[in-house]
Amino acid sequence: MTIRWQPDAVAEVDAIATFYQEKQQGLEQRFLEVLENALRRIERRPHKYQAIEKDI
């Protein structure tokens, strides 16, 4: 499975990371690590998660 990022999603992740960075040093890195771990789990076992729409 390949995860494709929509431009709006990239912008949203960037905005969230910036928000966390402003709240506490290193918090944005923790957020990005949790996100990356979740994406790896989805890539490994995509059928474990319910489809919302055709390819989502």
Interval 8-27: pLDDT, tens: 999 999 999 999 999 999 99
In a domain, 55, yes or no: no
In a domain, 32, yes or no: yes
Query: What is the reported pLDDT for 22?
Result: 96
**Can you give the residue range of the structural domain that contains 36?**
7-47
Helices 7-23 and 27-44 cross at an angle (nearest 10°) of 140
In a domain, 19, yes or no: yes
In a domain, 53, yes or no: no
Q: Indicate the average pLDDT of the chain.
A: 91
DSSP 46: G
Domain total in the chain: 1
In a domain, 43, yes or no: yes
DSSP 45: -
Model confidence pTM above 0.85: no
In a domain, 23, yes or no: yes
In a domain, 2, yes or no: no
